[in-house]
Structure 1
Amino acid sequence: MKHIKVYILLIIITITSCVETFDFKTVTFDTNLVVRAVLTDELKQHTIELSRTIPIDSTKLDPEKNAIVSITDDLGTIYNFQETNNGIYTSNIDFAAQPNRLYTLHIQTVNGSTYNSTNEVLPKLSSIEKIDFNIEENQISQNQELAIKVTSNASEDEGKYYRYEYEETFKVKTPIWSLRKIVTLSNVPPYSFDLVYKDPNIDGIGFCYGTLNSKNIRLTETQTLAQDQVIGFPIRKIPINNYIIGIRYSILVKQYVINQNTYDFYTLLNTFSNPDNIFSQTQVGNIPSNISSTTNPIEDKVIGFFEVSSVSEKRTFISRSEITDLPFDNYVLLAFCEERPNPEIVDVFGNSPLLDLLLNGWIYHSPPQSPIPPPNRPYTLTVKPCGDCTHIGPITPPSFWVE
């Protein structure tokens, strides 16, 4: 088995708050297969991600390339997956997990090692009934937060296990907006520029739409309750002064019904602190998997889980006027936007300070404040994030957006 030497920095702080000398220690690191595989009852092309564990001080993933991946059911149906990006495998066809079928994941890596999952069955569907929101006070920071909570439909089934994900989309406005922009006609001597009106279809009207996906693992269960119903489970909490709820906000919540083994897996996974690369940095033996090696089951361990789950989703929109009239902090502080350079088109050395600033993140703001702008300095600029929000998201709302 391949071992990679990594160094862990151990900082020992004594009770007396004295800092001891750094002690570098060498440990071995096993490059085990990492699997992210979720099969749902959604009719779509499903994806499976394969990679290798990475050192704890590494930030770059190590994708597992050129593997052979498939899912089979107990009727003999084979769903083949093809690598569409490094380490990402997509099913060749749209399909959905069906009730009362047994599904098994199969993987063969480029070195000939093979892996199979246990047989997994689709849990019964439980739908989201509603998404509620209200203002709460954070007991630690003493600041107000928007709390978003989910309630599922009640059922007569025995308790279930649930996992949640969300996708949030929000509308932002540039703190500084100009109807015009500078166009570079010539970026070599003789330098030439023009001031033109923006095209709303290309440049927008000062609004952008950002989208973020959940990272934390959100779990709950009703097995210990008298009734199988999730009531007011908190999905998301947002500080009331956050710009993402400054104008209009939307959240799409996905509720996955999972089995107990999957729930136990995510519960253990949730004890680790970094959701961005937790799978790749988790060490073998910490978390059990339902995927195992068929060629070397003793030493060749797998990180990850083959999840088969039923999915319900619901979307809601929230306007700021519905929750508060308090001001919010924009995505960029106005103090950051106070600088207003008024560069020369051409300086005494034959260079163009204006072009340099345009190429380094500055955009048109307004004419100079002087009554008669000098011919060589006709433009006042502002740093791009202050007058252009496209680093947050596109200028056009997504297809689901409603005002």
Structure 2
Amino acid sequence: MIKNNPFILSITWVVFTLFASCIEQFSFNSDSEQDVLVVDGFVSNVSFNDIADKRYFDIRLLTTGKVINSRDEPVINADIQISNDLSEYWDYTEVEPGLYRLYYDDFKAESGRTYQLHIELANGETYESDPGELPVDHIESELIWEETTWPEYRIVAGEPKIREARGLLFKADMPEFESNSLVYNRWDFLTTYTFTALRAPEDDPNRVCWIHDQFFVNEVVINRESKGGTVHNLFYFNIDTRLVKGGISILARQQSMTEVNYQFWLDLKNQENQADLFAPPPYNLVSNLKPVGHDGDVLGYFGVVRESFNRWVFDPSELSYFGLKPGVSTDPECRFPSPECLNCWEGPFPPKSVVTNIQPVWWLGW
């Protein structure tokens, strides 16, 4: 059983909180209050059938104000298709407001083919992407880690304190390769951990839930390679977090993309670093999306990428120090039984996480 909408390994929240675009630079006209359509999605060379962690390809649509801090609204009742240069078409299905899914188990982008996104809104406005194709090269990296420590600031009894946090530094080890052009990479991460209802019987199917949390490792890493043989820092992982004691796993996704697609993510990340709560949407970013037959504004990027996946499952025996014991990290003490003590589905789950009571086949029981 799965609760909420399946996480399709997307970091679309970055796009929808910051908003971006590609190929032609776009400048805001602050005198106009017309809403802007925001589009986020991609297709890759990896189909639903090709991977153990099943996922379909998604498109997200919303509208937002150009400059003022207006509320983002999901776009409903749109017709979305993807086509290739052989005039083959595949339809997206709306699965929730603003979220459209390509329900084809064997669909994937193929080398030598170009793909184009077509969007028709309920009001008749149409938008499309420029035709895109898979990048030539994809150099798969190895996910490696090393033990490390770093200073961590905490408030103790109202006073700021510095303590030494223990953890792991994860890195991407890129092999050497030969290519006639640069290879452009992007990594993002999905974390899985457990929540246990302490008062539920051991054989109760609702005793343990697995939470797939796209924001636990809140990093998107991009780089470009010319010949490989390099190691890139990805993120720090705090071993002292209580979540580790119930078991934890991280799925790293690596995407290779075109130079223009890479520039989109680079510009977006640069503007993200300087944004605050009341910052306007990013501007003057490149986009491969355009209106058709009208002058509406659209932001975002539709990517055609190559992908690979690397899963890490935590094993405390691999650490040089001892101190971690199996246990439950996210459970309440349950001295006074509450619903979450009796049923894991009642747990305090993070926003936009995906929850299931079915143990993943790769889960390490310890």
TM-score (norm 1): 0.65
The answer to whether the 8 Å contact 2:242/2:330 transfers is no
Partner of 1:90: 101
AA partner of residue 400 (structure 1):
W
Instruction: Give the number of the structure whose alpha-carbon radius of gyration is greater.
Output: 1
Q: Compute the displacement of 1:85 (Å).
A: 2.3
Q: Deviations over 1:207-230 (max 9, x none)?
A: 54332114533211114xxx135x
Partner of 2:359: 397
Shift in CA distance, 171/84, structure 1 to aligned 2, threshold 3 Å: closer
What is the aligned residue count?
304
Partner of 1:309: 305
Query: Per the alignment, in what secondary structure is the counterpart of residue 143 of structure 1?
Result: strand
Rounded to whole Å, the distance in 1 between the matches of 2:330 and 2:194 is: 14
The answer to whether the 8 Å contact 1:68/1:81 transfers is yes
Partner of 1:293: 291
The answer to whether the 8 Å contact 2:69/2:280 transfers is no
1:209 aligns to 2:215 (yes or no): no
The answer to whether the 8 Å contact 1:284/1:301 transfers is no
Q: Give unmatched runs, 5+ long, in structure 1.
A: 1-25, 180-197, 338-362, 366-380
Q: Give unmatched runs, 5+ long, in structure 2.
A: 1-29, 49-55, 154-163, 350-354
Query: Per the alignment, in what secondary structure is the counterpart of residue 270 of structure 2?
Result: coil
Q: Compute the displacement of 1:129 (Å).
A: 4.3
1:321 aligns to 2:287 (yes or no): no
RMSD: 3.5
Rounded to whole Å, the distance in 1 between the matches of 2:146 and 2:359 is: 25
Rounded to whole Å, the distance in 2 between the matches of 1:274 and 1:36 is: 20
Shift in CA distance, 274/159, structure 1 to aligned 2, threshold 3 Å: closer
Indicate which of 283, 288, 296 corresponds to 2:281.
283
Indicate which of 150, 153, 168 corresponds to 1:146.
168
Query: Per the alignment, in what secondary structure is the counterpart of residue 202 of structure 1?
Result: coil
Q: How do 1:1-400 and structure 2 match up within 5 A?
A: 29-44=33-48, 45-53=56-64, 61-91=72-102, 93-94=104-105, 95-138=107-150, 141=153, 142-157=164-179, 158-171=181-194, 177-178=198-199, 198=201, 200-204=203-207, 207-214=208-215, 215-223=218-226, 227-228=227-228, 231-273=230-272, 283=281, 285-297=283-295, 300-323=296-319, 324-326=321-323, 331=329, 337=333, 365=335, 381-383=336-338, 390=345, 391=347, 392=349, 394-400=356-362
AA partner of residue 132 (structure 1):
I
The answer to whether the 8 Å contact 1:65/1:87 transfers is yes
The answer to whether the 8 Å contact 2:189/2:219 transfers is no
Q: Compute the displacement of 1:154 (Å).
A: 3.3
The answer to whether the 8 Å contact 1:168/1:249 transfers is yes
Rounded to whole Å, the distance in 2 between the matches of 1:144 and 1:134 is: 11
Q: Compute the displacement of 1:248 (Å).
A: 2.6
The range that moved more, 87-96 or 64-73, is: 87-96
The answer to whether the 8 Å contact 1:128/1:314 transfers is no
Rounded to whole Å, the distance in 2 between the matches of 1:149 and 1:385 is: 36
The answer to whether the 8 Å contact 1:172/1:243 transfers is no
Q: Deviations over 1:271-318 (max 9, x none)?
A: 34499x99xx86373322110112234xx2211001110001121212
Rounded to whole Å, the distance in 2 between the matches of 1:171 and 1:67 is: 37
Shift in CA distance, 109/256, structure 1 to aligned 2, threshold 3 Å: same
Rounded to whole Å, the distance in 1 between the matches of 2:103 and 2:358 is: 31
The answer to whether the 8 Å contact 2:246/2:329 transfers is no
Query: Per the alignment, in what secondary structure is the counterpart of residue 241 of structure 1?
Result: coil
Percentage of identical aligned residues: 21
